[in-house]
């Protein structure tokens, strides 16, 4: 036994047939941290080089959606906004949701989009979705500033809303969204290596998912007996938490938070397991 | 005794032909629904009824590979297309995993299966150096340290802040290779990447590879270019059908490889030639390529055995991809050790010399005549060079062989066996003295 141990220590790298379910090479991921930062930089730079409208679009898009939602859901359908002015209410849902949705959409084609590079050189594949989640923070930051601008405008206009101390937990919320979208994204990206048409289903599914995430309909309108079931959607909890911390309204309780974190972690681990399965054999099937 | 840095044990890799699964969820569901209703699956392969189809069938790209590489060794890997060379390198570089077996590696590995992996056209040269370098496994601080050296090696200092989309393909490749050349791994895996760029650059690359090897690093080098393999590697492994056929000193392995792939007939096809080409070759952007080489007789019938009186015609069909000037086509008759016996050059003949000077893109057939009454009785081989000066110099060694049966001259057999050149030459005979006088003098 001692003999084999010494043998194993001698080698820096042992390549074995794929087996094992949970093998993310976290050490490798750390060693390649420069790569993550360069991927982020690449996406950032190319984004600004390609289009003038790009950064502006980040502002136009949520504003337009907010206006549409306010007109359709608040004014016409008369759906409750928990006493928050419609524009603020919808914007506060759209901003975190947009971060989540774009992370999910972009990470979900990790394998297909990077097949060229993945086939030529080894680096921890997980660096790609991780960098996507980071680069989207830039966009999120821009939209948060937009939101703060709106909020100040409304407060100045005499709105009684005030942020609560929970706002200090905002980084935790962002972290949860990052983890969730990363988990769901790699899960989907692993599946798309087998089922290419999932890519088309994805954008549609993300749209539908939004309507079940408190962006439009607040959780307070969900019947009591369905509440915990509703909160199995971690994004619903995240959006409610966000609203609660900035406006002091919304459904927030420890059970809901626990449920949403449990689901988030389950998705992350499920995603990682599938991803690490696929990353080894992926090149043989493309 | 240097330590072993790569140990491959019982390595096998299995691939499946065709696509696994249907590739779309829709079709999988459709098949499932059909099966549930007990109806014929609309996506079933039609071949299934006629016999085994290729789809889903497995084959071994590598089978039971065992080898060890010592520190500082430069191991060449050769073999035909599909012999498993690239699969082996992909497993070693962790792009894919083996089906069976173990690979143990000591030290940092960098693989060069392509130059410029991850280059982004919108980024500047400088940004791409960083991006590409980190993809290949360098850290940012390492690149900081070597940045000036990399830029100097690439020779494009002036354009380093220009987006690479404005680069010419040559500049692009030079920058990409410069990054790769400054990786400092303990083990370097290289797959045919030298085969880009112009002659001068290829020479620079080969030099750099030699330096790397000289610094005690281990290199695994795949190439179709026997010249480069000879130049760099002392030991070479020959793969065929996923197995190691021979693992021996380079000259021995190359000899075996060429021997194995001798072309039996009198016609060498483009594909057969491709597997044996050497020299300086632009893979990505070819100027010249052989299409076919044929030996035939006066009647135009391809043959490989001739009587000594017969003319032997050699046809070289080649393609020009660009307009070229002053190309040089040399046909050598060589012996089994590749020692030239006779050589001829496309512009020797004043009648066609001018026509060869400038060629437009197209396919050409150049024929030279090796006149009868030249060769002795033995087996000869043909080596053909096709050169576009300073750009490409393609060599195919011993591509075809032919036998000559010596018939003798004037119906008098005169020992033509195993002689290379046995022409009918002029003789004179002078009688110096006659009769008894000669004897008396002695």
Nearest to B77, CA basis, from B259, B281, B254: B254
CA distance A76 to A284: 54
Pairing of strands B378-388, B218-222: unpaired
- Report the first-to-last Cα separation within chain B, whole angstroms: 72
Whether the predicted interface score ipTM is above 0.90: no
Nearest to A101, CA basis, from A175, A176, A206: A206
Nearest to B242, CA basis, from B86, B97, B58: B86
DSSP structural state of residue A195 = -
Q: Is the predicted pLDDT of residue A148 greater than 50, yes or no?
A: yes
Decide if B330 contacts B346 (C-beta within 8 A): yes
Cβ–Cβ contact A221 with B under 8 A: no
CA distance B229 to B231: 5
**Tokens standing for B253?**
């392995």
pLDDT value for B51: 33
Pairing of strands B74-79, B218-222: parallel
In chain B, residues 183-202 whose CB comes closer than 8 Å to chain A:
none
**H-type helices in B108-264, by residue range?**
125-135, 140-154, 169-181, 199-214, 226-232, 250-260
> Looking at chain A, which residue has its C-alpha nearest residue B134?
A35
Asked if A37 and B96 come within 8 Å (Cβ–Cβ), the reply is no
**Tokens standing for A127?**
């660096």
> Looking at chain B, which residue has its C-alpha nearest residue A47?
B122
B407: which residues sit within 8 A by CB, 6+ positions away? B307, B308, B309, B416
CA distance B148 to A68: 54
DSSP structural state of residue A73 = I
pLDDT tens for chain B, 442 residues: list them. Answer: 678 889 999 999 888 655 444 466 666 777 777 777 776 666 554 443 333 334 456 778 888 999 999 988 899 998 877 788 888 988 888 888 888 888 999 888 888 777 778 888 888 999 999 999 998 888 899 999 999 999 998 888 889 999 888 888 778 888 888 888 888 888 888 887 555 556 666 677 777 777 877 788 888 988 877 777 888 888 999 998 889 999 999 989 988 887 776 677 888 888 888 878 887 777 777 889 999 999 998 888 888 888 888 899 999 999 999 999 889 999 999 988 888 999 999 988 888 888 888 899 999 999 999 999 899 888 899 999 999 888 888 899 888 989 888 877 876 666 777 788 988 888 999 988 887 766 666 5
Asked if A121 and B19 come within 8 Å (Cβ–Cβ), the reply is no
Averaged pLDDT, A219-233: 85
pLDDT value for A21: 55
pLDDT value for B24: 65
**Tokens standing for A154?**
């409304």
Between helix A86-107 and helix A53-69 the angle, nearest 10°, is 130
Q: Is the predicted pLDDT of residue A164 greater than 90, yes or no?
A: no
Asked if the B70-260 domain carries CATH number 3.40.640.10, the reply is no
**Tokens standing for B14?**
């299995």
B430: which residues sit within 8 A by CB, 6+ positions away? none
Q: Is the predicted pLDDT of residue A19 greater than 70, yes or no?
A: no
Cβ–Cβ contact A49 with B under 8 A: yes
CA distance B337 to B346: 24
- Please report, for chain A, the start and end positions of each structural domain, with discontinuous segments joined by +: 20-285
CA distance B297 to A164: 98
CA distance A40 to B15: 35
Averaged pLDDT, A2-15: 60
pLDDT value for A179: 94
**3-state DSSP call for residue B310?**
coil
- β-partners of residue B60 are B14
pLDDT value for A84: 85
Task: Name the burial class of residue A26, with classes exposed (0-12), middle (13-18) and buried (19+) by CB atoms within 10 angstroms of its CB.
Answer: exposed
Considering only CB atoms, which chain B residues are within 8 Å of A18? 97
**H-type helices in A198-253, by residue range?**
198-211, 227-230, 234-247
CA distance A231 to A185: 20
> Looking at chain A, which residue has its C-alpha nearest residue B94?
A122
For the domain made up of B267-405, give the CATH fold.
Coagulation Factor XIII; Chain A, domain 1 (2.70.50)
What is the number of residues in chain A? 286
Asked if A34 and B23 come within 8 Å (Cβ–Cβ), the reply is no
Return the ∠ at Cα A67 (arms to A61 and A73), rounded to 5°: 125
- From its phi and psi, is residue B333 left (phi > 0), alpha (psi between -120 and 50) or beta? beta
Element of type H or E holding A284: helix A254-285
CB neighbours of residue A29 within 10 Å = 17
> What is the least distance, in Å, from the CA of B305 to any CA of chain A?
47
Q: Is the predicted pLDDT of residue A24 greater than 60, yes or no?
A: no
Asked if A194 and B23 come within 8 Å (Cβ–Cβ), the reply is yes
- From its phi and psi, is residue A83 left (phi > 0), alpha (psi between -120 and 50) or beta? left
Q: What is the CA radius of gyration of chain B?
A: 28
Return the ∠ at Cα A213 (arms to A208 and A215), rounded to 5°: 95
Averaged pLDDT, A174-178: 93
Categorize the per-residue pLDDT at A77 as very low, low, confident or very high, splitting at 50, 70 and 90: confident
Asked if A281 and B96 come within 8 Å (Cβ–Cβ), the reply is yes
Between helix A170-192 and helix A198-211 the angle, nearest 10°, is 150
CA quadruple A138, A142, A143, A145: dihedral sign:
positive
pLDDT value for B50: 33
Q: Is the pTM of this model over 0.80?
A: no
Asked if B105 and A41 come within 8 Å (Cβ–Cβ), the reply is no
Q: Which of B91, B102, B134 sits opposite A38 (nearest CB)?
A: B134
Task: Name the burial class of residue B424, with classes exposed (0-12), middle (13-18) and buried (19+) by CB atoms within 10 angstroms of its CB.
Answer: middle
pLDDT value for B196: 57
**Residue entry with tokens 């096809």:** B269
Considering only CB atoms, which chain A residues are within 8 Å of B91? 15
pLDDT value for A8: 47
- From its phi and psi, is residue B282 left (phi > 0), alpha (psi between -120 and 50) or beta? beta
Cβ–Cβ contact A51 with B under 8 A: no
- β-partners of residue B377 are B417
pLDDT value for B360: 92
Nearest to B318, CA basis, from B289, B344, B281: B289
Averaged pLDDT, A216-240: 87
**Tokens standing for B201?**
């650059």
Cβ–Cβ contact B127 with A under 8 A: yes
**Tokens standing for A11?**
């080698």
- From its phi and psi, is residue B311 left (phi > 0), alpha (psi between -120 and 50) or beta? beta
- β-partners of residue B386 are B329, B394
**3-state DSSP call for residue B298?**
coil
CA distance B324 to A102: 52
> Exposure pattern of A148-181 as b/e (b: 16+ CB <10 Å)?
eebbeebeeeeeeeeeeebeebbeebbebbbbbb
Q: Is the predicted pLDDT of residue A79 greater than 90, yes or no?
A: no
- Please report, for chain B, the start and end positions of each structural domain, with discontinuous segments joined by +: 4-60, 70-260, 267-405
Q: Is the predicted pLDDT of residue A20 greater than 60, yes or no?
A: no
């Amino acid at each position: 036994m001692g003999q084999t141990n010494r043998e194993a220590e001698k080698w820096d790298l042992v390549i074995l047939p794929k087996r094992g379910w949970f093998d993310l090479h976290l050490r490798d991921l750390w060693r390649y941290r420069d790569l993550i930062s360069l991927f982020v930089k690449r996406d950032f730079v190319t984004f600004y080089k390609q289009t003038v409208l790009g950064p502006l679009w980040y502002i136009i898009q949520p504003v337009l959606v907010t206006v549409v939602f306010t007109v359709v859901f608040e004014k016409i359908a008369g759906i409750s906004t928990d006493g928050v002015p419609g524009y603020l209410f919808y914007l506060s849902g759209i901003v975190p949701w947009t971060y989540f949705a774009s992370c999910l959409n972009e990470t979900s084609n990790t394998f297909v989009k990077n097949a060229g590079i993945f086939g030529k050189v080894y680096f921890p594949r997980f660096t790609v979705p991780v960098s996507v989640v980071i680069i989207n923070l830039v966009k999120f930051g821009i939209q948060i500033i937009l939101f703060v601008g709106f909020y100040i405008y409304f407060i100045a206009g005499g709105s009684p809303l005030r942020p609560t101390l929970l706002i200090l937990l905002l980084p935790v919320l962002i972290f949860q969204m990052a983890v969730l979208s990363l988990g769901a994204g790699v899960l989907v990206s692993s599946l798309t290596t087998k089922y290419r048409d999932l890519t088309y289903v994805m954008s549609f599914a993300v749209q539908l998912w939004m309507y079940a995430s408190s962006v439009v309909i607040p959780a307070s309108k969900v019947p009591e007996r369905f509440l915990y079931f509703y909160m199995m959607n971690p994004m619903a909890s995240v959006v409610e938490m966000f609203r609660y911390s900035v406006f002091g309204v919304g459904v927030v309780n420890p059970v809901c938070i626990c449920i949403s974190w449990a689901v988030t972690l389950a998705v992350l681990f499920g995603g990682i397991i599938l991803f690490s399965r696929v990353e080894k054999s992926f090149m043989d099937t493309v | 005794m240097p330590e072993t840095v790569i140990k491959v044990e019982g390595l096998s890799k299995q691939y499946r032909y065709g696509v696994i699964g249907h590739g779309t969820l829709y079709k999988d569901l459709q098949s499932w629904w059909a099966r549930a209703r007990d109806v014929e699956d609309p996506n079933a392969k039609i071949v299934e009824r006629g016999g085994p189809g290729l789809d889903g069938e497995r084959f071994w790209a590598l089978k039971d590979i065992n080898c060890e590489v010592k520190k500082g060794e430069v191991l060449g890997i050769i073999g035909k297309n599909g012999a498993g060379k690239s699969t082996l390198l992909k497993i070693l570089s962790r792009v894919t995993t083996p089906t069976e077996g173990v690979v143990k590696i000591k030290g940092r590995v960098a693989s060069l299966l392509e130059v410029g992996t991850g280059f982004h056209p919108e980024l500047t040269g400088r940004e791409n150096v960083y991006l590409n370098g980190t993809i290949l496994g360098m850290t940012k601080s390492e690149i900081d340290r070597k940045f000036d050296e990399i830029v100097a090696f690439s020779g494009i200092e002036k354009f380093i802040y220009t987006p690479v989309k404005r680069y010419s393909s040559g500049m692009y490749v030079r920058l990409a290779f410069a990054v790769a050349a400054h990786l400092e791994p303990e083990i370097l895996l290289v797959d045919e990447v030298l085969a880009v760029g112009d002659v001068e650059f290829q020479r620079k690359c080969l030099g750099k590879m030699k330096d790397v090897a000289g610094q005690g690093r281990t290199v695994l080098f795949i190439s179709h270019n026997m010249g480069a393999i000879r130049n760099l590697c002392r030991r070479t492994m020959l793969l065929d059908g996923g197995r190691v056929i021979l693992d021996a000193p380079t000259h021995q392995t190359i000899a075996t490889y060429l021997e194995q792939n001798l072309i039996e007939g009198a016609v060498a096809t483009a594909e057969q030639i491709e597997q044996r080409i050497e020299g300086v070759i632009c893979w990505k952007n070819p100027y010249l390529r052989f299409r076919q080489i044929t030996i035939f007789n006066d009647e135009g019938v391809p043959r490989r055995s001739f009587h000594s009186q017969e003319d032997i015609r050699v046809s070289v069909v080649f393609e020009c991809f660009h307009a070229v000037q002053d190309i040089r086509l040399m046909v050598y008759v060589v012996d089994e050790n590749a020692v030239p016996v006779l050589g001829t050059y496309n512009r020797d003949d004043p009648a066609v010399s001018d026509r060869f000077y400038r060629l437009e893109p197209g396919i050409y057939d150049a024929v030279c005549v090796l006149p009868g009454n030249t060769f002795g009785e033995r087996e000869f081989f043909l080596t053909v060079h096709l050169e576009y000066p300073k750009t490409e110099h393609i060599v195919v060694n011993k591509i075809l062989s032919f036998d000559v049966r010596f018939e003798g001259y004037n119906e008098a057999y005169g020992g033509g066996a195993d002689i290379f050149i046995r022409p009918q030459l002029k003789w004179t005979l002078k009688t110096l003295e006659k009769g008894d006088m000669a004897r008396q003098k002695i």
